[in-house]
Amino acid sequence: MKQARGGVRSYSGAISGGIYATTTTTTTTVAPISGKVQVYIMMGQSNMLGEGHISGSSDGTLEYATKTKGLYPYLLDSSTGEWAHVDNVRDVAVMGSGGPTGTIGAVHHNEWISVNPSKKSTIGPELGIGFTMANATDAPTMLLKSCIGNRALGWDLLPPGSEQYEYTSGGKTYVYAGYGESPNRWEKGTTPKPISWYAGLQYDGDIDRADRVLADLGTFYPGASDYEVAGFFWWQGDKDRYDTGLASRYELNLVNLITALRTKYSAPNAKFVLATLGQTEKGATGNEGLILDGMFAVDGKSGKYPEFAGNVATVYSHPLSKGGASSSHYGQNAETYMNIGEAMGAAMAELLQGDSISFV
């Protein structure tokens, strides 16, 4: 994949990375993989799931961006003009609603990373992430996405170890659920009435579905027999911004999330990259400002959490977005998803530079 250079992009206020034009060939036989597959688990809500349009001749689609505007040239095979793929990065995406169901859920992708409208008509940040990382490492790599839309970190995706807390609003004090508790909140001094959903149910389900992929590794990464979780990608926050009680807790919930994921996968050194909501500018106030500040606080370069130095990075998405808001999926503009994906991939590559993975 490391061929003539093309498509180098840089953004003010964001981490940037160079991408090379790529032409690859398909291998029909499956050879055993030497070494462990480096797995990067991708979590979040609808924009991580992916809402950028692929097909179409109008500005905002991926076809228009690549074939008319000349953006992201590495996505096209230089000899055929068709969509290129990378044969050391596997794109796996599963989805299910709620907790563990005993199944892997819907499989949206299970192929070498490429633009693949026959599998799904929209993209998330995985293309920018995958092609950028393929340009940085020859290691066998899997992007394993497990998520669904309309989920809050402070409720649906609340990680294990998160405790209940109190928040006062409108003259009333509410108790917000800790992991495993139900409902999402109740007035202090009253008896909570559980519902059919509990705090962290979607987290449990997303992790279970990811685990089922890993338990059947050879089906999802041909020739592989072993893996290690090397990192996590997180793009979320939209649903939390509608509840000040959740927004005010976002930073601590992020800290708990990073800790819980590393503990779960026995991967204390696994890197963590997150992206901010694209519409939220630095200096924002209100709930979006609370969420943005929390996201910047966990960045290892902020110094607030010394244990995150060199292993957690926050990508500032506002300069990369082509407009719109997270709630409207940024107008489904594919360039937003590509730009943010590139930046997330470059951030991960930067974090991994000092590790044992072979980088070039």
**Residues 223 and 93: beta-carbon distance below 8 Å:** no
Task: Identify whether the C-beta of residue 349 lies closer than 8 Å to the C-beta of residue 136.
Answer: yes
* Average predicted confidence (pLDDT) for the chain: 91
Longest dimension (CA), the chain: 69
* φ, ψ of residue 308 in degrees (nearest 5): -95, 0
Report whether pLDDT(356) > 60: no
Tokens of 183: 């409902």
**Higher-confidence residue: 223 or 31?**
223
pLDDT in tens, 241-282: 999 999 999 999 999 999 999 999 999 999 999 999 999 999
- Residue ranges per domain, the chain? 37-155+223-352
| Percent over 70 (pLDDT), the chain | 90
34-77 pLDDT, tens digit each: 899 999 999 999 999 999 999 999 999 999 999 999 999 999 99
Q: What's the topology of domain 37-155+223-352? A: Rossmann fold (3.40.50)
Residues 104-114 have a mean pLDDT of 97
Task: Kindly report the pTM of this predicted structure.
Answer: 0.91
At 293 the pLDDT is 98
Contact at 8 Å (CB) between 21 and 7?
A: yes
- Does residue 206 have a pLDDT over 80? yes
Residue 30 has pLDDT above 90, yes or no: no
Separation of alpha carbons 277 and 291, rounded Å: 9
- Cβ atoms of 176 and 185 within 8 Å: the answer is yes
Quote the distance between the C-alpha of residue 68 and its chain's center. 28
Q: Count the alpha carbons within 13 Å of 159 in the hemisphere toward its beta carbon.
A: 20
Q: Which residues have CB under 8 Å from 50's CB, separation 6+? A: 120, 122, 123, 124, 125, 126, 337
How far apart (Å, rounded) are the C-alpha atoms in residues 202 and 204?
A: 5
Token pair of 89 as six digits? 């990065």
Number of H helices, E strands in the chain: 9, 12
In one-letter notation, the amino acid at residue 359 is: F
